[in-house]
Amino acid sequence: MTFHQINEHCFYYNSAVNIGYVTDGLTGLLIDTGIDRSAVKKVEKELQNLGLPLTHLFITHAHADHYGGAAYLQKNYNLHTCAPPLEAAILENPSLEPLYLFGGNDPLPELHNKFLEAPAMQVDEIIKEGELSIGTIPVRAISTPGHSCQQMCLLIYETLYAGDAYFSTEQLHKHKVPYITDASQTIESLNKLLQVSCSGAIPGHGTYEENFQDTVQANIEYHEQLLMWLEEVLKKEMTQEEVVREMCRGFEVRTPQLSQWLLYRTAVTAYLIGLIKREKITHDVSDFAWTFQRVRS
């Protein structure tokens, strides 16, 4: 984990999951916490060494790798914690994540792990899109659903803390079929980010870039390529499970564990949803299976 200063007020801790930090000398705002307390304790030590305040916490979205260290911080600091709507409900009730990934059934024991279910935390304030203040820090909250239902970015002092609204190109190619919940919303959110004027941006996974729009555009193009690939595959009628198998095979994705397969099932279905919204494919329930097929021109 490496500590970087961007400008007078803005910092971030570059690691597997980035953790943002902003201060005006009075308020000390942490943005996300990493996957567990060991990750956030490194940040805590750095702030202590530099004599920087820690008063507020914002969670961009309720995925365990972004809030796993929050409960530890809340036990040790008087933190005012903010989060987007709906995401807050999951943060306070983490069992909802394996529950929704498992389709509403009681999750099997193997799905109760730190990658899908972080310790429960408290949310003090729900943040909605718009201009606001967190403590004494002026903030613009930007709604960017698509990777998570109500994910939110923060624009602070000319720096965009983007969470997982976009990924580094390395992350896109690493995961091959990136985790999203709705391809249509994802692309809409990415186009929204292209309109944001600021000095630079930090994704949840990657590094700070001044010309972040190039990476955002690369994300759009990557998702569009996956949509085109899937539309071509659906020349014949296929069930949801067949589509998941075909896409994971096609992109050489590995899913040795149930939890990984469930994540890819959600991601593949997100591209199906995108094609449905574009009216490129039809869907039906046929012979007790959810089926999809490309619209005949």
Fold classified for 2-224: Metallo-beta-lactamase; Chain A (3.60.15)
| Distances 104 to 96, 97, 107, 120, 245 between C-alpha atoms, Å | 9, 10, 8, 19, 21
Q: Where in the chain is the domain with CATH 3.60.15.10?
A: 2-224
Q: What are phi and psi of 119, to 5 degrees?
A: -60, 145
User: Which pLDDT score, from 0 to 100, does residue 9 have?
Assistant: 98
The share of the chain scoring above pLDDT 70, in percent, equals 100
Q: Where in the chain is the domain with CATH 1.10.10?
A: 231-294
User: Which pLDDT score, from 0 to 100, does residue 13 have?
Assistant: 95
**Tens of pLDDT, residues 267-291:** 999 999 999 999 999 999 999 999 9
The share of the chain scoring above pLDDT 90, in percent, equals 97
Q: Above 80 in pLDDT, residue 28?
A: yes
- For the residues 44-58, what does the mean pLDDT come to? 96
pLDDT band at 1 (very low <50, low <70, confident <90, very high): low
Q: What are the residues facing 140 on neighbouring strands? A: 131, 155
Round the average pLDDT of the chain to a whole number and report it.
Answer: 97
Q: Contact, 177 vs 264, CB < 8 A? A: yes
User: Which pLDDT score, from 0 to 100, does residue 3 have?
Assistant: 87
User: Which pLDDT score, from 0 to 100, does residue 12 have?
Assistant: 97
User: Which pLDDT score, from 0 to 100, does residue 94 have?
Assistant: 98
pTM of the model: 0.96
- For the residues 155-166, what does the mean pLDDT come to? 98
Domain 231-294 in CATH 1.10.10? The answer is yes
User: Which pLDDT score, from 0 to 100, does residue 297 have?
Assistant: 73
User: Which pLDDT score, from 0 to 100, does residue 270 have?
Assistant: 98
- For the residues 39-44, what does the mean pLDDT come to? 93
- For the residues 46-72, what does the mean pLDDT come to? 97
Task: Name, in order, each residue with C-beta under 8 angstroms of 199's C-beta and a sequence gap of 6 or more.
Answer: 6, 7, 158, 159, 210
Rounded Cα distance, 144 and 159, in Å? 16
Pairing verdict, β 125-126 and 137-143: unpaired
**Tens of pLDDT, residues 161-209:** 999 999 999 999 999 999 999 999 999 999 999 999 999 999 999 999 9
